[in-house]
Every structure is written in structure tokens, then in C-alpha cells.
Amino acid sequence: MTRERLVLLVAGWTLPVLIAALALMAPIQPREAIIIIAVWLGSVGLLSEILWRQSLQPIFTLLGQLNLSSTNQIRQHIHSLQEAADRQQDERKDLSQLLDDISTGLGEGLLVVDADLHLRLCNPRAQHFLGAEKVAIGASFLDLERDPDIVAGIRDAVAGKSGQRILVENSRGVWELRPFPLSQGGAVVLVTEVGPLRRAAELRRQFVQDLSHEIRSPLTVMRTTVEALEDEVSPDIAGMLVRQVERITRLTDELYELASIEAGTLKMETTRQSVGPVVRQVASDFAAVAFRAEVDLRLDFPEDFAFDFDTRALTRVLSNLVDNAVKYNRPGGWVRISAKRLEGTAQIEVEDSGLGIPAPELGAVLQRFYRVDRARTPGAGGLGLGLAIVKHMVQLMGGDLKLDSREDVGTRVTVSFPVGPESAA
């Protein structure tokens, strides 16, 4: 019972009770009646003061701060507050409906959980991943999915870690989950079915491998035939035919190597050896091409420079880099192959004075089938696989690749490989 109600009861019943009690004892004298009335009036006054201080005074103070001095103003203010609350409620409903529409229309699954792994959002695609026809918001994710890798990944995202990719397989397909932390706590999880994509990629790799394999035999016959005709046709025509056969052979080899890399069937056999023979062999292979293009090939490396590498892979890496450096150069230009040891790594650089790569395209040239604007390099063939193969082969040998280029100045590609104490030369 509040203090106001207690005082009200006391004040309201004091006078009747006193009068009734005294009436039973003896007739009430005027003086006694005056005392009783005074006590009652005091109780009522005390009640009014308490009510004013506890209830009415804060209300009138607030109304004064709001500049509300009349009943009509108070009514209008309450009405405006109600309208604002209704608008906010409508906006929340619209936002919630928009979020539902977006999440439903996504081709990917979308899960949102709070810090305790209770569901805050689960679109239809995510429900299919969980194998549930309907998921109640607020339900525990652990009641729906108990895969330890998934649970651990989502817990890491709730803890603030991001960028993890989780690959899982269940009766409904092969899925990739990418959990990310939310700034307000919890995590969002993107769920993508990757089974069809993986099957399509595997079919593409198999097709490229089969095609490259089938083309090799006819190319060998063509090359043999062209070489046999060298004495019967002019040297220019014979040279042109040889170059075209070599070009098709190189493209076929690149397709096959890239498919093998992506399929994981390309094996590396690294041994500690000198890089000199490989560099000289590559320079010899491109000497005639560089001569025709009026490009000077320069070598700068110590004879005792050795580290662990796969001969075939490093040969392909340097061949692709030198091929690009000569192809995208200008008459009177140069290409330099250099090697040095720096901070525990063996570094090989292929630098040229060629056309360079536009800055916006630096990140894209390492992607397969990407070629810089053909209008800048008319007549330069290729499928855009050279640098993609270089990147993958360097990574397979445990190395790193760095690309620096300035348009109309030149390009420098640096490949670095770790050198252990036993490889120091």
C-alpha cells in the first residue's frame, strides 16, 4: 500500500471514527468537536501535500518544460506523440518486411544468430540447408545443427573473428558457410550450395585436359611436316609456319597445365640446384624471338645461386614471364633476368622496359583468361593464361609473387622462394 493511500484512509476515516467512539462514551462537547475537526483537517492537508509533491508537482513541472499551459495543448501534444509512435511502428514493420523480402529473394541462405546462438533470421534457403520446413525465430541453432565445425565457426564469428569458410556436406548437398560478426553482437552466416559449381568446374577442367591431350598429337605431326618442308618453301614461310605451330603448342600446354593445377594433379619435385642452367635455357629459347622484336635480353645472376625448386615449374614460370616481357615491349627495349638473395629468400626478377600495365588492371592480370586491352597490343596473341599459371606454380613451390608496373615505363615481376639454412650458398 502506497503512502498516499495510507494517508487517505487515515484522513478519511479519522473524523467518523472519532465521532462514533465518543458518541458511545459520552455526548460530544463543542470543544471536543473542534479538536476532532482540526485533526481531520490536518490529515487532509497532509494528504494534499504528499499528493502534490509525489504526483502532481512533477507533472506540472514537465508540462511547464514543454510549454503546455492548457488542456487543449496537452491533448494536441499527446496526439502528436501518438502519431509519431504509430509512424515509427509502421517504419519498423516496413523495414522488417523489406528485410524478409531481401532475404527470401537471395539465391544464398542467410542466417542471423545472437550471442547465445538463438536465431534472429533464417530465410528459406537456409531452412533448406538445415532440413527444416519452418524455423521459429528465437529457436536455438544448436537444436537444428550440431556439426562441430559449423558450431565452432559461428562461435568464432560471435567472438569477433571473420573470413572463415566452412565446407560441409549433408544429404541435401555440398555447402559453403561464411560466418561474419555483427557489430551489435551475434553473427550473420551466408550459406551457399557449391555442389553444382564444383561439378561444373570439374567438368570444365576435364574437358580442357582432354582437349589439350587430343590436340598434342596432331600438333606434333604438323611440326614434323613443316620441318620436312623447309627445303621446299621459302625460309620466311617455313619460319612463319614453325612459329604458328609453336604458338598453338604453347597455348595447348598452358591449357593443360592450368587444368592440372586446378585439378591438383600437377606434382612438384623440388631439389636444391643452381638456377643458372634454367635461366640460360630460357634466355636461349627466346633469343630468336627477342632478336626479331629488337629487344635486348640481359642476364644478371651469380653462378652459385642455388635453392630448392622444381626445374620444370621454374622453367615454365620464367618462360611465361620472359614471353610477356618481350611480347609487350618496344623496338630498342630490353628485358633483364636477375637473381639475388634477400632476408632469407631467393628472389628472381624479370624486368622490362615495355608498355607497362594500367594501374586499374594490375590486380586483374593474374586472373586466368584476362588480357590487357587488346587495342594497346595489336597482334599479341594468347589466352591470358600466362600470369595465372605463373602465380599458381610459384605458390605450389611455396613462393610469393609481386607485380610492379607503370604504364609506358615497364614492368617488374618478382618471385620469391624461402631459403632454409641448408640452402644457403
Domain count, the chain: 4
Residues 184 and 288 in one domain: no
Write down the residue that cell numbers 560441409 correspond to: 168
Domain end position, chosen among 173, 193, 213: 193
- Kindly state whether residue 72 falls inside one of the protein's structural domains: no
Q: Quote the Cα angle for 158-159-162, to 5°.
A: 75
Half-sphere exposure of 320 (CA within 13 A, CB side): 27
The answer to whether 311 touches 278, Cβ cutoff 8 Å, is yes
- Kindly state whether residue 228 falls inside one of the protein's structural domains: yes
- Kindly state whether residue 208 falls inside one of the protein's structural domains: yes
- Kindly state whether residue 233 falls inside one of the protein's structural domains: yes
Domain end position, chosen among 266, 284, 316: 266
Q: What is the pLDDT of residue 392?
A: 86
Half-sphere exposure of 52 (CA within 13 A, CB side): 6
- Kindly state whether residue 77 falls inside one of the protein's structural domains: no
CATH value at residue 336: 3.30.565.10
Helix (H, G, I), strand (E, B) or coil at 1: coil
Q: What is the pLDDT of residue 424?
A: 43
- Kindly state whether residue 78 falls inside one of the protein's structural domains: no
Q: Is the dihedral of CA 93, 94, 96, 100 positive or negative?
A: positive
Which domain does 416 fall in, by range? 270-423
Residues 276 and 401 in one domain: yes
Residues 253 and 341 in one domain: no
Domain end position, chosen among 266, 287, 322: 266
Q: Tell me the pLDDT of the chain (425 aa) as tens digits.
A: 455 455 555 555 555 555 555 555 555 566 666 766 666 666 666 666 665 556 656 666 766 666 766 677 767 767 777 888 888 887 777 666 666 666 666 678 888 899 999 998 888 888 888 888 888 888 898 888 888 888 888 999 998 887 788 888 888 888 888 898 988 889 988 888 887 766 766 666 677 667 666 677 777 777 778 777 777 777 777 777 777 777 777 777 777 777 777 777 777 888 898 999 999 999 998 998 899 999 999 998 887 888 889 998 899 899 989 998 998 899 999 999 999 888 888 999 999 999 888 887 877 777 766 666 555 554 555 566 778 888 888 988 889 999 999 988 999 999 999 886 554 44
The answer to whether 322 touches 298, Cβ cutoff 8 Å, is no
Residues 243 and 309 in one domain: no
What is the per-residue pLDDT across 208-232, written as a single tens digit (0 to 9) for each? 667 666 677 777 777 778 777 777 7
Residues 259 and 373 in one domain: no
Residues 286 and 218 in one domain: no
Write down the residue that cell numbers 553473427 correspond to: 187
Q: How far apart are CA 262 and CA 252, in angstroms?
A: 16
Where do the H-state alpha helices sit in 271-337? 276-285, 287-292, 311-327
Helix (H, G, I), strand (E, B) or coil at 294: coil
The answer to whether 397 touches 314, Cβ cutoff 8 Å, is yes
The answer to whether 399 touches 417, Cβ cutoff 8 Å, is yes
- Kindly state whether residue 32 falls inside one of the protein's structural domains: yes
CATH value at residue 140: 3.30.450.20
DSSP assignment of 343-376: TTEEEEEEEE-S----GGGTTTTTSTT----GGG
Residues 403 and 415 in one domain: yes
Q: What are phi and psi of 162, to 5 degrees?
A: -140, 170
Residues 110 and 202 in one domain: no
Q: How far apart are CA 268 and CA 260, in angstroms?
A: 12
- Kindly state whether residue 74 falls inside one of the protein's structural domains: no
Residues 257 and 366 in one domain: no
Residues 254 and 278 in one domain: no
DSSP assignment of 27-84: PPPHHHHHHHHHHHHHHHHHHHHHHIIIIIHHHHHHHHHTT--SHHHHHHHHHHHHHH
Residues 136 and 212 in one domain: no
Helix (H, G, I), strand (E, B) or coil at 136: coil
Residues 175 and 36 in one domain: no
